[in-house]
Amino acid sequence: MIEGVAFYILSTVAVLGALLAVSRRNLVHGVFALLLFFAALSGLFVMLMADYVAAVQVLVYVGAVGILQLFAIMLTEHVTGDDLRRLGARGWFWGLMLAVALPVVLLLPPLLNGEPPVPPAAPQSTARQLGSQLMEHYVVPLEVLALLLTGALIGAVAVAHGPEKDPPGKDRPA
Amino acid sequence: MNVMLYSMEIAMVLSGLGILMLDLGTPARGKRDLGYLAAFLMSLLLLQSVFMPEVQDGFSLLSSGHSITEGPGYKLDAFARYFKHLFLLAAILVLLMAVDFAGTLRARLAEFFALVLFALTGMSAAASATNFITLFVSIELITVSFYVLTSFQRGQMRSLEAGVKYLILGAAASAVLVYGIALVYGATGSMEFAALGKACPSAEHDHLLRLGLLLVIAGLGFKIAAFPFQIWVPDVYQGAPAPVTAFLAVGSKAAGFALLMRLCHHLRPDLRELTLTVLAALAGATILYGSLCALRQRNLKRLFGYAGIASAGYLLLGLLALNAQPGASPSGAQGCHAMMFYLAGYLIAVMAAFTVLCHLDGEDEDLSVLAGLHARSPLLATVLTLSVVSMAGLPPLMGFLGKFLLLQSAFEVLSPHPAQLWLMVVALGGVVISLYYYFGILRAIYWGGGISPGRPAGESEAITVPPLARLLLIACGLILLWVGIFPQALLEWLGDAVALFR
């Protein structure tokens, strides 16, 4: 009973946070709404007995990612979202249709089937299991992910910096 | 864990990181040479892997006492090796193309070369993936590298636009893919592809599995640019720098198909019914869409983009054959055979065409830049002709046999299926339409003098092609001709690679 109430409260907060995050023009407000969403999500992870993932969600997303985003946004111009610099969205009707159709297609089969799946017995501590899986069975994908992050970092710097200033005979494009 | 199993990927990553380190001490003038270095290292790796594959086996024998070809979620079989060779070849040609393109690129070259190598690593891992974790991680490595590579010419609005579009649509596709993987995991309780071959505990689980499988196919459909997921292709192909477009057209697509082939190979018979229907619909729609949209294109890169969509449709026909019921008369090996042959021909033809594009002046890549090409540079005109004719699928070039084998395998598999007739009509119609737009390119090369009023002066200027690029172009042209006329050697070589699917 109490779990049901907690689930509905947390998911309402999460959905509201997500909606606010995409609808705010002011990017700083948007990031705060996103943080709200992350926090509610970590609550949902706790309810799923995923203690480690919930902790990481708070540490990494609410803590590091949110702060980084705030930094990045405050270092750029036009934070307060003036309406002139918006991309035109002509296809909003079809977007809306798709947004409605997707949950219907994805959620209808489980809803029609009734019978919620039986929750498995709670594992003792997920951190140990996750750790041993990551370091033994999935160590190669983990390394590939590290490479992915390296590539993303290098790429972000390369694109943000633009071309080097000293190629002979070519001036830097505006 | 045996490190030698991953020796190719490790060599690629180390080369990429080495290029970045060397960049620090290289003067601006010498940065292009880093591209030659990267291409040289990859050529060594390719030669070692083709001619001395036993070196890796020898090391694993020494370290563990027996030859290891399998790790968790990773398999180094003949199939994986073939795709790794294709990706290496593509990366070498792209790196050399990028060196010549450096003047137009006006960007940080070392980072560009390193990211090409990182994307190559992702493709190479994808060729070996046997579970969903490796699949997702390698696909993401490829895609993230391409997000950056696409927007590398950041001085140009069009390149940035391409990067943003690819980023947003790619992220949406990844979300679909990961949701599908989650559903499949929920239904089977395992991340391995092999679990797709076992029966589910209940009907509800089975329902989830089917839904998950469809979402996974949709997510991979984005990478191979199949019909409803192809929206990004024309803009991204047009906006990205030409070497990146070539790599995207060949590498990213081949990686998606390699994953789909492994996935379909493990499917249960009743799931094959489902995927057969879905893939037949996708293939027909993709061929039709790509061919029809290519008709009116005047921008060369967009034209190749739409042509690439159509060829993804033909490759899906080969994938249909993989979904034949086990024990049917044409086994899945035939479709696999056809796809791998077609991909090799497609790789050579696309790389040759884009190398030619890199050497044309003119910012806008309109068809009119080709006007009078046969007089300005007979070599470029000849190679572009060969590559276009091969893509159109005319004998005696390599593309003909590839397309023929694909059509044959699909129709043999589909012969009892009611969808056979319309799919045959669509596929053959696509071939006929493709003749029209491919010959539009040829017309622009040889008879296009009069239709470009904007550029009367530079018309007669000869184009000088650097010696290495000239050598590569000649090699590509000769391969297209030689393998087209004497395909037996390549087909026999492929025999080993498809043994998995028998």
Residues A1 and A69 both lie in one domain: yes
Contacts of B36 (CB under 8 A, 6+ apart): B96, B99
Q: State the pLDDT confidence band at A168, using cuts at 50, 70 and 90.
A: very low
Q: How far is CA B433 from CA B282, B285, B366, B392, B394, in A?
A: 18, 14, 20, 9, 13
Contact B72 A152 (CB under 8 A): no
**pTM across the whole model:** 0.89
pLDDT tens-digit series, residues B115-136: 999 999 999 999 999 999 999 9
CA distance A36 to B279: 41
Q: Is the pLDDT of residue A171 over 50?
A: no
Q: How far is A94 from chain B (nearest CA, A)?
A: 14
**Residue ranges making up the domain that contains A54:** 1-81
pLDDT reported for residue A38: 93
Averaged over A10-30, what is the pLDDT?
87
Contact A154 B20 (CB under 8 A): yes
| A–B interface: beta-carbon pairs under 8 A | 105
pLDDT reported for residue B457: 45
Q: Which two tokens stand for residue B153?
A: 């010419």
Residues A1 and A73 both lie in one domain: yes
User: CB neighbours (10 Å) of residue B311?
Assistant: 32
**Considering the domain boundaries, does residue A61 fall inside one?**
yes
pLDDT tens-digit series, residues B167-220: 999 999 999 999 999 989 988 888 888 888 887 777 778 888 888 999 999 999
Q: Which of A164-168, B332-336, B433-437 has the highest mean pLDDT?
A: B433-437
**Considering the domain boundaries, does residue A138 fall inside one?**
yes
Question: Is the four-CA dihedral A129, A132, A135, A140 of positive or negative sign?
Answer: negative
Strand partners, A103: none
Question: Is the four-CA dihedral B206, B262, B190, A52 of positive or negative sign?
Answer: negative
What's chain A's average pLDDT? 79
pLDDT tens-digit series, residues B451-487: 445 554 445 577 788 888 889 999 999 999 998 888 8
Q: Is the pLDDT of residue A42 over 70?
A: yes
pLDDT tens-digit series, residues B11-69: 999 999 999 999 888 887 788 889 999 999 999 999 988 887 776 666 666 666 666 67
Residues A58 and A1 both lie in one domain: yes
Contact B106 A156 (CB under 8 A): no
* DSSP label at residue B70: E
Burial B13-36 (b: 16+ CB within 10 A, else e): bebbbbbbebbeebeeeebbebbe
Q: Is the peptide bond before B396 cis (omega within 30 degrees of 0)?
A: yes
**Considering the domain boundaries, does residue A165 fall inside one?**
no
**Considering the domain boundaries, does residue A94 fall inside one?**
no
Point out the domain boundary residue: A65, A81, A97. Answer: A81
pLDDT tens-digit series, residues A106-155: 777 666 666 655 555 555 677 888 888 888 888 889 999 999 999 999 98
Cα distance between the two ends of chain B: 29
**Considering the domain boundaries, does residue A105 fall inside one?**
no
* DSSP label at residue B324: S
CATH number at residue A59: 1.20.120.1200
Taking alpha carbons only, the member of B322, B318, B331, B484 closest to residue B406 is B318
Residue of B nearest to A114 (CA): B204
Q: Is the pLDDT of residue A80 over 50?
A: yes
pLDDT tens-digit series, residues B290-316: 999 998 888 888 999 999 999 999 999
Residues A1 and A76 both lie in one domain: yes
pLDDT reported for residue B67: 62
Measured between beta carbons, the chain A residues lying within 8 angstroms of B75 are none
Q: Is the pLDDT of residue B450 over 60?
A: no
Question: Is the four-CA dihedral B428, B399, B141, B26 of positive or negative sign?
Answer: negative
**Considering the domain boundaries, does residue A169 fall inside one?**
no
Q: Which two tokens stand for residue A146?
A: 């590290």
Residues A139 and A76 both lie in one domain: no
Residues A70 and A140 both lie in one domain: no
Point out the domain boundary residue: A56, A81, A106. Answer: A81
Q: How far is A3 from chain B (nearest CA, A)?
A: 22
User: CB neighbours (10 Å) of residue B386?
Assistant: 25
Are the C-beta atoms of A137 and B72 separated by less than 8 Å? yes
Percent with pLDDT over 90 in chain B: 39
Are the C-beta atoms of B13 and B118 separated by less than 8 Å? yes
Contacts of B51 (CB under 8 A, 6+ apart): none
pLDDT reported for residue B100: 84
Measured between beta carbons, the chain B residues lying within 8 angstroms of A86 are none
Residues A143 and A67 both lie in one domain: no
CA distance B77 to B410: 25
pLDDT reported for residue B136: 95
Point out the domain boundary residue: A49, A81, A113. Answer: A81
pLDDT reported for residue B1: 59
Beta strands in B149-282 (DSSP E): none
Q: How many domains does chain A have?
A: 2
The answer, yes or no, to whether ipTM is higher than 0.90 is no
- Residues from A contacting B (CB-CB < 8 Å) are 106, 109-110, 113, 115, 137-141, 144-145, 147-148, 150-152, 154-159, 161-164, 166-168, 170, 172-174
**Considering the domain boundaries, does residue A88 fall inside one?**
no
Residues A2 and A71 both lie in one domain: yes
**Considering the domain boundaries, does residue A170 fall inside one?**
no
Strand partners, B70: B75
pLDDT tens-digit series, residues B397-406: 888 999 998 9
